[in-house]
Each structure stands twice: as C-alpha cells, then as structure tokens.
Amino acid sequence: MLLTLAAFVVALGFLIVIHELGHYWVARRCGVRVLRFSVGFGKVIAQRVDRNGTEWALSAIPLGGYVRMLDSREGDLIAPADRAQAFDAQSVWRRIAIVAAGPMANLILASLIYAAMFMVGTRVPEPGQGVPLVAIQAVTPDGAAAAAGLQPGDRVLSVDGMEMPPPDQFVAIMSRSVDRAVPLRIERAGERLALSVTPRAGTDAEGRAAGRIGVQLGMSTRFVDVQYGPFESLAQGVARTGEVAWLSLRTLGRMVTGEASWRNLSGPVTIADYAGQTARIGLMAYVSFVALVSVSLGILNLLPIPVLDGGHLLYYLVEIIRGSPPPERWLEFGQRAGLGILVALMGVALFNDFARLLG
C-alpha cells in the first residue's frame, strides 16, 4: 500500500511539475511575470520567492498544480509600466504558445523517456518472423496431440503446408481433418521437428461435428533485445509517443460515439494501482508507466473542454476568427459547462475504479 501510494504521488507530482514548467518557461520567454508556481492546490505548506518575484509553493492537495501569471482579468492591479508583463496584454499567438506549452512539455517528456528506453535497450519482436507463432499452451492427456508427441511450449511453424498459421486457421484445419494425418513443423527449445497429428472425431462449440486434437492454443512472439543510437532512439521515442497519443484519442472518440464502453475510463485509484504494480515489477516498467501517463496528461489537457488548456486554445481560435475575444458571457457559460463535464468524467472514472476493485 505504501509503495503504491509513493509510486503514484512521485509520478503524478513529477508530471505536474513538468507540465507547469512548460507554461512557466514559455511565459518567461514571452516576458510575462509569473506570480506563483504551485505544485498542488489549497493551503500553501511551503514557499519561497525568487529574485523575479515568483512565489514557488508546495500546497496541501497534491492532485494538480498551476502557474499564476500577472493578469488584469484576475483582478490584479497593474501599474502602467508593468502592463506589458501581463498575460492578457500578450498577442493571441503568444497566449497560444504559453497555454500549449504545458501539454507539449508532457508529450516531449514522454518522447525523451521512450528514447532513453530505446537507447538502454528494449525487447522487440524478432525481425523476419512474420506473424506471431501459434504456441501450444496445454495438451490434454490421452488426446490426439499427446499421442503425436506435442508438448506445452511447442511453437507451430506450419500446419498442413500453411506457414505461420494464426490460431483460427490452425483450428479450422484440424476441424476438417478427422482421421487424416496432418503434417506439422514445430519449434521446441530452439530445435525444429516434423510431426503429424490425426484429429479425432468430436464437436465444436456449436455442437457440430469437427476434428479435435486436445490442445489449448495461444500466441507466442519471439523477442530480441535491441539498442538504438541517440538519433534513432529519439525518432523511435517520438513515434512511440505519437502511437500512444493516437490510441488514446481513438479510444476516447470510440467512447463518445458509443463504439467503446465508458468502463475503459480510469481514474486516480486505477492509476495509483498501476503505479504500484509497475514499481514492483522494476524500474523500466515504472518508467514506461510514467511515460504513458505523461502522454495521457498531455492529450487530456489538449481536449477542447473549457477550464482545460485545450478549452483556452479553443477560445483563442475563436478570437483569431472573430478578430476579437469571445464575449464574457460565452466564457462564463463555457467555464460552467467545462467544469460540469470534468465533474461528470471524474464521477464515471471513480465509479469504474471502485467497480474494478470490488469486482
């Protein structure tokens, strides 16, 4: 329990700091004064002020963070000489850069983590092996497979002349080959063997006559350890981040359209559980988990939901199209609607979390 909690807090805290540092760094480059950089919400536990006047704070609730910039819309009293340092005084393009910098920092971090993993070495499917091999997971005693000499762990290279058969084709061939010797080539402990198995009369799941040999099948892919150079690792890291981001967006889109269940939505309890599990497995598994959450955090914040970074970017897009900021009533409605959406999503996520725990 303590390991799970520690792994979750460390991962979340680190990713929040990276996210907010993205906002902070670009804001400072744009000449915006940052009043507070806070890790967490609520009551400030510890703080210090740097020479630029920025308060660096650690707050009581470690489930987020924020960067507060000088902004007249927030009620800050701004002297005319300091007006140029206010966030709302910046051009729309600078505001876009500052807001987008947080999610982009998370995506860049994930790319760098994946790149480092590729440099250290990663396990990948063996080149040239084609589709994954059919693996014999279990053999029924006194069945046709046992009589033919098949053993758990055997990998099927070919069946009846078909190379690298997927499990459904393996089953189909055996089903229609009652009392006929079917030639097999298998791999066992690195050695290749030729066998033949004669399916016996039986029935399939729907009660129809079919050949049966008495095995349980699975997929088995051979893996090799591969290391990449710095530039190729970076390219691989960016590609992996793109794949994970696209998968996240696709899954979310399928949930919105009803093609996928909302039970796929996970909340902090499930994330904490995975953090603990990966930490127990080892450093590489935990680091990979951190990269995955970093991608998810970046993508989540880019969604066009008011109160998220993506919602602000949507406002700025409207401003570019209209030539002026959206009316204040639009912003107020958007904030309320966005907050309602987030509360609903969090409610579903927490329900799923506890359903998994209790189920």
27-43 pLDDT, tens per residue? 999 999 999 999 888 88
d(CA 102, CA 99): 6
d(CA 90, CA 74): 15
Chain region(s) in the chain for CATH 2.30.42.10: 133-224
318-341 confidence digits (pLDDT tens)? 999 998 888 888 888 888 998 898
Residue 249 vs residues 17, 36, 256, 315: alpha-carbon distances, Å: 24, 32, 10, 21
Q: How confident is the model at residue 351 (pLDDT cuts 50, 70, 90)?
A: confident
297 pLDDT more than 70: yes
d(CA 216, CA 243): 32
pLDDT at 110: 96
pLDDT at 221: 59
Average pLDDT, the chain: 86
Helix/strand/coil for 122: strand
72-99 confidence digits (pLDDT tens)? 887 777 888 888 999 999 999 999 999 9
pLDDT at 227: 82
For residue 181, give the DSSP letter: P
pLDDT at 268: 80
pLDDT at 23: 96
Q: How confident is the model at residue 127 (pLDDT cuts 50, 70, 90)?
A: low
For residue 304, give the DSSP letter: S
Which distant-in-sequence residues (6+ apart) come within 8 Å of 18 by Cβ? 105, 106, 109, 294
The fraction of the chain above a pLDDT of 90, given in percent, is: 37
pLDDT at 25: 96
Contact, 73 vs 315, CB < 8 A?
no
104 pLDDT more than 80: yes
- Catalytic residue (choose from 20, 206, 243, 332): 20
pLDDT at 126: 61
Catalytic residue check, 74: no
284 versus 301: the higher-pLDDT residue is 301
347 pLDDT more than 80: yes
Q: Which fold has domain 133-224?
A: Pdz3 Domain (2.30.42)
Q: How confident is the model at residue 285 (pLDDT cuts 50, 70, 90)?
A: confident
Which distant-in-sequence residues (6+ apart) come within 8 Å of 329 by Cβ? none
Nearest to 140 by CA among 157, 153, 156, 152: 152
- Element of type H or E holding 117: helix 92-120
Please give the torsion angle defined by the CA atoms of residues 45, 46, 47 and 48, in that order, rounded to the nearest 10 degrees. 170
185-224 confidence digits (pLDDT tens)? 998 888 899 999 999 988 776 667 888 998 888 766 566 7
359 pLDDT more than 80: no
